[in-house]
Structure 1
Amino acid sequence: MRLPRRALLGASLAMPLAARAQARYPDRPVVLVAPFAPGGASDVAARTLAGHADKHLGQPIVVENRTGASGMVGTLHVRRAAPDGHTLLMARIASSAIVPAIDRAAPYAWDEFTFLGLVDINPYVVVVRADAPWRTLGELIEEIRRRPGALNHGSSGPSTILNLGIRYLLLQAGLAPDATVEIPFRGGGEVATALVGGQVQIVGQNLSEIAGALQGGQARALVVTTPERFAAIPDVPTAREAGFPALEAIVGWNALAGPPGLPDPVVRRWEAVLAALAKDEGWITATRRVGSVPQIRDGGAAKAFIGAQVALYRELGRRLGLSG
């Protein structure tokens, strides 16, 4: 079948126009969606990146919080966005690994997205108020063992690291995974505020979300999941030192992703921006200041890393009876 000359001419004109549009990318501000509430780890990472990557990109980066459903609302918004690189996602462990790993009804698959790079790794800490009676993780576990169901923990959703990390700790201690009561909030920042205010008794969350309370003497960390003691909190024992080496598997992270089908020039542009960011002392210092570890990797390495995380949480969900 022969195509009309007008159709052929239109197609030939459209192709160079699309190529020129990609070459000009970005031609307007880029929206970076943080799928959790202000003050949480994804929000902090997004604003830290936006404040330093814009000069490497050549356009402003506007952070937009789209919250709800363990990060699915914001993540799905980016999944449905036009694949032009002007709407991106600060991919988070909960919404981009845990949810698709354990929830068969999740509205997206983890590997549908175009991964642009890993941004940082965020140590996980178990924290209580500074005036709490438990000085060590062992003391806290024994209290839970004596009074199952009497203590609570803060969470930003059932399929988040804040909830699953505590459930996994309880399982490793030989306790029922529901031996503490989950108190849900919209994001990690709200959970940290609730701990300081006395609304919750235990928090397991990323260091970046609770660093301010630790530095201000309002909270006490009982364990950190890094293999070695973390420089920002040198007096806090590691999971291995505390007798729970399996907890090292629980760690937060942030990655940069876009909708399916982002053009190669957009991907290459962002990989170049992230490579420049990896040498940007301002961003490195700001990232460390909030308790994260700069960990720039390219899109392929980010996808491989997140795939391994999905496999880990799929197995954890099965063990906890959460897969559905």
Structure 2
Amino acid sequence: MTVLAPADSARETAGTAATRAPRRRRTSPATLLLVAPFALLLTGTVLVPIGYALYLSLFTERLSGLGFEGPRDVFVWLENYGEVLTDAAFHDSVLNVAAYALLHIPLMLGGALLLALLLDGATVRLRQVWSLAVFLPYAVPGVIAVLIWTYLYSPNIGPLNDVLPWDPLGSAGVLPSIVNMATWQWMGYNMIIFYTALRTVPREVLESARVDGAGPVRTALGIKVPMIRPTVFVALIFTVIGSLQLFTEPLVMRNFTGSVTSTWTPSLYVYEAAFISNDYGRAAAASLLLAVASALLSALVMRLSTRSGRSR
């Protein structure tokens, strides 16, 4: 039996403690070099614009004295935010976007998922033809697509005005018209995303379901859709953000109908405040409020996605 001296025992204890102590990982220069482009891009395209918008939102232009010196920037703290939040036009724009999102998101994502499931069970020849046909509207630029649909809605030259039971450019029909435009353009894009995710579902799982007697509908709803749920939630997040940023369709339709005002959506509200009224402080405040709303809704969808994944 070997007896350790007190000094040797102390060294062994210290060595064991040092071995068990967590080691600090040093960031290598290669890691910093790889992260630097992303950090610069994030700073230049996200953080700096947000910081500048925050700075602008705290100021407004006012005339000094008798106005001979011209307008000058005045620090107003949160006055611009209060003006936006109490503006009836901004309230109406938020309601229009909310109604648009409630119609557009289920129709577009539901239709895209249905088409993806149908394509996943089709033959190779039909799959290629239909996937290209459904995806083609996404290749059309947004402004051109809106012009095409607006001419189709036109009461003078468009055929749809005589077929539809309501006026597609009227006050009651302009919202479904815009929903139809956006759904037509984005359904094919999301269909390709869902279809790509469906192709990653293990074939042996589907074969086992067929052996157990599961039909196509039960296989789709019980196996395929749950296995691509993360992809569906990612598409949902981007669709929610895109719905809040609705801009192109109402901007172009303003030239054809009086039912779309200059503040019909929050993005149009920001555009009108900045480039028509030249009120950059109010425009910056509205844009930041829109950004916060987008971030909160995205976080909510991600939270729901996480809970759904844990419950599986």
TM-score w.r.t. length of structure 2: 0.26
Higher helix share: 2
Rg bigger for which structure?
Answer: 2
Q: Which is richer in strand?
A: 1
Relative to the length of structure 1, the TM-score reads 0.25
Q: Which has the higher contact order (CA 8 A, sep 6+)?
A: 1
